[in-house]
Structure formats: C-alpha cells, structure tokens
Amino acid sequence: MEEIIKENWNTAQVAAGGPGQKTSRIVVDPITRLEGHGKIDIFLDAKGEVERAYFQVPELRGFEVFSRGRPAEDMPQITSRICGVCPTAHHMASTKALDDLYKVEPTPTAKKIRELVYNIFFLEDHALHVYVLGGPDFIVGPQAPKELRNIVGVIQKVGIDIGKRVINTRRQLRELITYLGGKVIHPVLGLPGGVAKRLAPEELPKFKEIANEGLDFALFTLQVFKDIVLKNPEYVKLITSDAYTHKTYYMGLVDENNHVNFYDGLIRIVDTTGKEYAKFHTSNYLDYVAEHVEPWSYIKFNYLKPLGWRGFTDGADTSIYAVAPIARLNAADGMATPLAQNAYEEMYSILGGKPVHHTLANHWARVIEMIYAAERIIELVNDPDITSENIRNIPVNEPKVGIGVVEAPRGTLFHHYETDSNGLIQKANLIVATQNNSSRIAMSVEKSAKALIHKGEVTEGLLNMIEMAFRAYDPCHGCATHSLPGQMPLVARIFDSSGSLYKEIMR
Amino acid sequence: MSEKPKIALYWCASCGGCEESVVDLAEDLLFVVDNVDIVLWPVGLDFKKKDVEAMPDGSIVASLINGAIRTTEQEEMAHLLRRKSQVVIAYGACAQLGGIPGLANQFPLEEILKFVYEDAPSVVNELKTRPLEKFHDNGRTPELPGLWNGVRALDQVIDVEYYIPGCPPSPKLLKEAVLALLSGKLPPKGTVLAPDVALCEECPKKDTKPTDLKFETFKRPHLWEIDPEKCLLAQGFVCIGPATRSGCGALCVTGNMPCTGCYGPTSRVKDQGAKILSSIASSIGADTPDEIDKILIGIPDPVGTFYRYGMPGSLLKRKVIL
C-alpha cells in the first residue's frame, strides 16, 4: 500500500474509532497493561490489615449493541456466543424471548423437547463443575498441591474407572444434545413457537438408556459428595464458616407449586429470613432488578430495585440478592421430583434449615439439582408426546417486545429484545447469570481477604482460599461481561498503605 | 516428561466454546495428555505467565490460541506465545477471522460503553459513572485494562502458521492437528487444517441441491416450514454452505437449520461474504430493480448474514464513519 494511502486509511480508521492497521504506528486510546482475566486489587492499611478489596472483571464485548439491526430469529445463535460453556442457556432464554416477541406459544412437544435438551444440558454442565472446575477443591482438598487440584487429581482420588465414567457420561449426554440441537456447543434448535428438529421414535431407546444412566450418575455423585465432603469435619467447618457466609436475598424460577424449575415459571425472591419478598412474571423483571455501576470494574453490580442500592452490605438491610444453586433452592419450597426432594430435605436438615447463607453450600445444592435434572429427563423421555411431529407453530403476529428468562446453571438469565415491525433488533438488554451474583461475589472476596490477611502477612495459599469464595458460585465472567469464558486466570495485587504494590500473586 | 512436546492453549476474546471443544475430546483427551506436555491452559490447569516468560524462545512446539484480540493484555499474550513457540495455530473462528465478537466492528466502542453503563433499561446510574482505567479512591487506585476500539483476528496481530476453523472447531480436527504435530508431518505455512472443499460436499441433503439455483424469494427460517430432507437453498433459505469450508460434519444442517458459515472460506475463496453474496445475487430470478428489492427483503441484515464470523478478517474489516 502506498504510504499516503496507508496513512489516510489509518487516520480514517482512528477517526472512526478503528484499530488502525498492524503495519502502522497505532494511534488509539492509550491502554494500561494488565495480566489475568479476573483481578483482585487488595489495599492494606498502615497496620497491614485489609482496608478494601476490589473484585474486578476486566473486559466486555458489547453483545447488546452489536445485536442491533440483526434479525431477531438469529439471536439464539448469536447470543449463545456470549458463553461457550453455557451456550444452551443463552440459546434457550433467547428462544423464549422470541416466543414472547412474536406472541406465539410453542407446541406442547416443542416445549418438552426444549425442556429435555435444557435438563440434559444442566446435568452435564453441573457435572463439569463438580468434577472439573469447582469440585477439585473438595474432592482433592483445598490445601492439596496445585498440580493436583484439577481433573487429574480428581481421577487419582476417585479412581480411573470413575474418572472414565464421568467422561463417558458427559459425552453421552452431550451426544443427545447434538442430536436435537445440531451442535452441542452453540446449538441451533430454537425457533419462535417451536424447535427445528423432532425426536425420531427410533432414537428414543437410546435417549431412555442414557437418561437412566444419567440418574444413576447423579445419585452416585451425591454419594461421592457425602463420602468425601460431609464425612470430613474440616470441610463441613469450612462450608459453614463465617468467611464464606453472607445473608442476602435469593432469586430463582419456580413452578406453580413453588418448586425449582430451570426452563420456565415465575421469578420468586425470598428475603434474608427465607420469607417470600416477591413473586412476579418474568416480563416485569425491570421492576425488581437493577444494575449499579462502579468505576473499578467492567462488570455491573445487581441489586433489588425497590430497595435501592445500599452498597456492598449483607444482613437485614441489604438490597443484594444471589442466584444459582443454593439461591434457587432457597427461593423455592422444594424440588418437583422425589429423589431430589429427599436430597433437598436432607441438606436443609443438616445445615440447620432455610435459608442457607453459606456460599460453599452451592456445591451441595448443585448435586441436588443434578438429581432433579436427571429425574426430569426420565419423565420427559417417557412422555408419549415427546416424539410427536408437531414441533412448530409458525409466528403470525407482528413483533415488538420479547422477554425470555431461564435459570442458567449459574443463575437467572434475562434476554430482553425490542424490534421494528420487521423483527430487526432495535434494543437488546441482557442480564446474565453471574452478573446477578456480582455484588455478592464482590462481598465474598473482600470478606475472605479480610479474614485471611493480617498484619501484612500474605501467604501463597491465600489466593486459593479467596478463589474458593467465588469459585463456589461457578462464576462465568464470559457471561458476566459478555466477554470471557468460565474459569479464568486470576491475579491478586496487594498494595500497602502508601498505595505501592506490595505483593502480587497469580495463578 | 520433559521430552514430550510442549503445547500451550490460550484464550483471548472468546466465549469458552473452544475450550469446551478441547474437553469434548473426551476419552481422547487422556491420549493427548499422555503424549504432550501442556505448559499453559488457563481453563483446566494453573496458569503462570511468568513460567512461560522464563521458557527459552521457541521451546513450545505449538501454541493453540483461540479468541479475537480486543485488549492489550490479549495482544501481549499473543506476542509472548509467538516468541516462545515454533508454531502458532489460530484455533477457532474468532482467532481465524474475528468471529461473532467481530460484529462489534460495526459500532464504535463509545456506543457500546454508553449503552452498557448508561442507557440499558436496568441500569440506574444518575452520575453516569464509567469504569476507569485508573480509579482514585481515597488514596487507593485500582486499575483496569483499556479496550481497543475494534476487534482483530489473530494474524492481524502476530504471525500465524496454521488455522483450525469453526465455531467451535470439531474435536476431530483438533485430534488430527495434534497427530500431525506429533508426527512432524506439517503442511505448508498458512494452511487451514480442515478439508479444502465446500460444506455441500458433506451435507446429507447434497443430492437435492439443484445445479441451477433460482431465488424468487428468500425465506427467513422462523416464518416457514423447513423440509428436513431437502437442500435449504433449494427451499429458499440462505445457507452459507457453498462458500464455507467443510469439516464440521454439516452439524447445523443436520439440525435442520441453514449453515451460517463458521468454518470460513476454502483456500480458493478470498472473502467468504463476497463469495456467497455474488453467488446468491447471480441466482436471483428478477429482471427489474423493484423485483430485486422485493426479493432482498428476505435478507434484512447482509453483514450479519454473510460476514457473521469473519468481518475483522474480511476485506471489509470494519465500518468506518467518515
């Protein structure tokens, strides 16, 4: 390229907010340097005690804005790219938003196929967390060497056969999603009023077989959790310790019996004592959910709108709510299936009744949800409707506004679209699972930092203990900033009272 | 242990789907772990940038990098891994072509920030607070990285040897790439490690594709029944298959939905969007501009349709407002 053309090109690019070309001197906004996708800045006072810890998420991609002008029917596939770990959650929330946008009811079979796919996804996604992401802290142990605190360590601890079972069961479950969704990562089945593919009768035996294995696997996982975690008094102490406890509100979808439902229902919120605070249709979410902006993180911080932003405080005066497994169980009166209900009652009886405020109890609640998902899958594959050919209602109404909500594995997920009469997106608002938890995660991180750092003494083990505080939420900052994937590199930077960098710990 | 070839896996601006595709190797993951030494994989193993910095240049046999480049931190890591690696593989659509996050190149960063922090209906922000790179808070200064104004594909930032396409890539392609690395039988630089034929070649509906397509209407899939047995283009749906590389197994089409082009173009096509656009345009059965306009109503978002995964890496790159 001629030098002058290149110069003009770059000038134009920069004027347009462009990145410039790699061959040129890049004239763009100055950028400060940073390592790691998750970040905690901890500031100490003159005595070496923690004055303030900031939990930060340092990126965003802007799906709401670049969705503009796109046909709404493309949104289930575009928004699934917010997160490749939970693409099915975004795909399903988006598809439900399209139902609402076009005011079209999915056929009964379509609804069942969606719920089937969704519960299969829940089961395999929760299994991923239990065995690969969060579980190693418990199964291998929080103090175990780093090189063992992963799936390899889990397999060593539980045995290669069980490790293979985990891998095999996940693979089989994901094959079922592939069959109905085309792709398991970024599925394509969702259409307003239906699904693109039916479940052929000749496939049903395979679905039933894997469904039964799924339930065995979920019950087995509960046993693993009991044997390894509950039989170890140290772990139980850790779960119930104050450093990992916050009294907040809890939110989740419930069915007509106030039982946990992942795919559909009303949103229910309970207060810090477990009393119902609100129960509302998903289309009224803006009356209850609000986002607060802090200058030190790209993630926004959610709170209950009627109560107003009251800062990062827990207890009776808080306006902060939590989502995800333990919040869902707290917000409901029980589980809709028998074995999950037994496990639900057992957990609350052992942990001293509802609500449970211990962040680390999320791991237990997650296993209970696996049992519910597995039982629901069995119900659905035995439903005579499931193989019907009647899988679509074609929309006839003019689109305007659509709101779709599901429970993602990591919490309540909101998709809200507004379109022109041609169904092109004019406005999109997305409130993703982890973001609902961001205020509570920020508190958890600060609280554990304050509990674990004294007189300026910072140990290497600190980071994992702080990480455990937020890993229990299974946070997905890919979702939260619509930018980054599930687990992340993390850096903790500790500053002394003069503001100088005192120590930096990374993983 | 140390004799095993060292492999690094890293993510930039991505969704994590590429990481999941690695986990989806399932039983084969154990084979990979047995045969290579994974020195960096943030999603599954403990991460230390300093460890990578301490390694001799060129000591990593291959780095598989997924995700587009949006922040300096991502750019720095790309440069670091480039220096330490003999081979860099752009893994997945975002690294290869910019991917869906690349659609942001149609909008200035300020528009994104303004919506997210001020205009979103759930935001309450009377003071119009924005995240700051350096925030001064009573003598404390927590920092954030800044954001580039645009999104770039990996080879717009560093030199790249190979590409594994897809959103996400199929585990089969990954396995084949690892086997090629282990055997040292590598193709010429610049090769996309996937079959170099159009998706139609592996499409189960191939036999129903007419040799001469003629469009009198374009159907948006939510408004029409879809015949699961028949070529989607023949039914009037926009399917990007003819301009897209094969290798996924025609998954979306098997799910009864059109291909949206995530595997990018074959080696004979420079610009995937332009290719499908010209091919479709030449098959429009209309004689007057009015008739053409009427037919094109069925494609209301040409950029999102034809460049869904590849705008940063295409001839367009981004929207420029002069």
**Domain residue ranges of chain B, discontinuous segments joined by +:** 6-100+149-183, 109-148, 199-306
Answer whether A34 sits within 8 Å of B145, measured CB to CB: yes
Answer whether B131 sits within 8 Å of A286, measured CB to CB: no
Q: Closest partner residue to A87 among B17, B222, B304, by Cβ?
A: B17
Listed in sequence order, the DSSP H helices in chain B are 17-23, 27-35, 49-54, 72-84, 93-97, 109-114, 171-183, 232-235, 251-254, 272-281, 289-296, 302-306
If DSSP codes are grouped into helix, strand and coil, which group holds residue A334?
strand
pLDDT of res. A451: 85
Domain A105-245+358-394 is of which CATH architecture?
A: Orthogonal Bundle (1.10)
Q: Is A104 in contact with A396 (CB distance < 8 Å)?
A: yes
H helix or E strand, kind and range, residue A158: helix A151-158
B6-100+149-183, what's its fold?
Answer: Rossmann fold (3.40.50)
Q: For testing the chain B interface, which of A66, A149, A300 should be mutated: the one with the most B CBs within 10 Å?
A: A66
Answer whether A290 sits within 8 Å of B107, measured CB to CB: no
Question: How far away is chain B from the Cα of A420, in angstroms, using its nearest Cα?
Answer: 12
pLDDT of res. A1: 36
Integer Cα distance of A225 and A154 in angstroms = 12
Instruction: Out of A203-217, A229-243, B145-159, B177-191, give the one with best mean pLDDT.
Output: A203-217
pLDDT of res. A38: 63
A489 CB neighbours in chain B (<8 A) are 42, 47, 49
Q: Which residue of A has its CA nearest to B123?
A: A291
Question: How far away is chain A from the Cα of B86, in angstroms, using its nearest Cα?
Answer: 22
Q: Which of residues 401-460 of A touch B (CB under 8 A)?
A: 416, 422-424, 427, 429, 431
Q: Closest partner residue to B222 among A31, A192, A478, by Cβ?
A: A192
| Residue corresponding to tokens 């100490």 | A44
Question: Considering chain B, what is the average pLDDT of its residues?
Answer: 90
pLDDT of res. B179: 92
Q: Exposure of B158 by Cβ count < 10 A (0-12 exposed, 13-18 middle, 19+ buried)? A: buried
A152 CB neighbours in chain B (<8 A) are 33
Q: How crowded is residue B249: how many other Cβ atoms within 10 Å of its Cβ?
A: 17
Give the pLDDT band of residue B48 (cuts 50, 70, 90): low
Q: B256 Cβ partners below 8 Å, 6+ apart?
A: A182, A196, A197, B226, B228
Residues B232-278 have pLDDT tens digits of 999 999 999 999 999 999 999 999 999 999 999 999 998 999 998 88
B129 CB neighbours in chain A (<8 A) are 293-295
Answer whether B304 sits within 8 Å of A187, measured CB to CB: no
Integer Cα distance of A343 and A366 in angstroms = 11
Q: pLDDT (tens digit, 0 to 9) for every residue of chain A, 507 residues total? A: 344 444 444 444 444 444 433 222 222 222 222 333 567 788 888 888 888 888 877 566 789 999 999 999 999 999 999 888 889 999 999 999 999 999 999 999 999 999 999 999 999 999 988 887 666 777 777 666 666 666 667 777 777 788 888 889 999 999 999 999 999 999 999 999 999 999 999 999 999 999 999 999 999 999 988 988 888 888 888 888 888 899 999 999 999 999 999 999 999 999 999 999 999 999 999 999 999 999 988 889 999 999 999 999 999 999 999 999 999 999 999 999 999 999 999 999 999 999 999 988 998 999 999 999 999 999 999 999 999 999 999 999 999 999 999 999 989 999 999 999 999 999 999 998 888 998 998 898 888 888 888 888 776 666 667 777 766 776 554 444 443 333 344 566 777 877 777 776 654
Q: What is the ipTM of this complex?
A: 0.95
Q: How crowded is residue B201: how many other Cβ atoms within 10 Å of its Cβ?
A: 12
The answer to whether the peptide bond before residue B168 is cis (omega within 30 degrees of 0) is yes
Integer Cα distance of A176 and A120 in angstroms = 8
Answer whether A56 sits within 8 Å of B142, measured CB to CB: yes
Answer whether B16 sits within 8 Å of A429, measured CB to CB: no
A300 CB neighbours in chain B (<8 A) are 116-117, 123
Residues B198-243 have pLDDT tens digits of 999 999 999 999 888 888 889 999 999 999 999 999 999 999 999 9
H helix or E strand, kind and range, residue B315: none
User: Whose CA is closest to B244, among B256, B230, B228, B260?
Assistant: B260
Q: How crowded is residue A410: how many other Cβ atoms within 10 Å of its Cβ?
A: 29
pLDDT of res. A308: 97
Question: How far away is chain B from the Cα of A209, in angstroms, using its nearest Cα?
Answer: 20
Q: For testing the chain B interface, which of A49, A173, A188, A394 should be mutated: the one with the most B CBs within 10 Å?
A: A188
N- to C-terminal Cα distance for chain A?
43
Domain boundaries, chain A: 1-31, 39-59+437-506, 105-245+358-394
Q: Give the least confident one: A496-505, B111-120, B183-192, B300-309.
A: A496-505
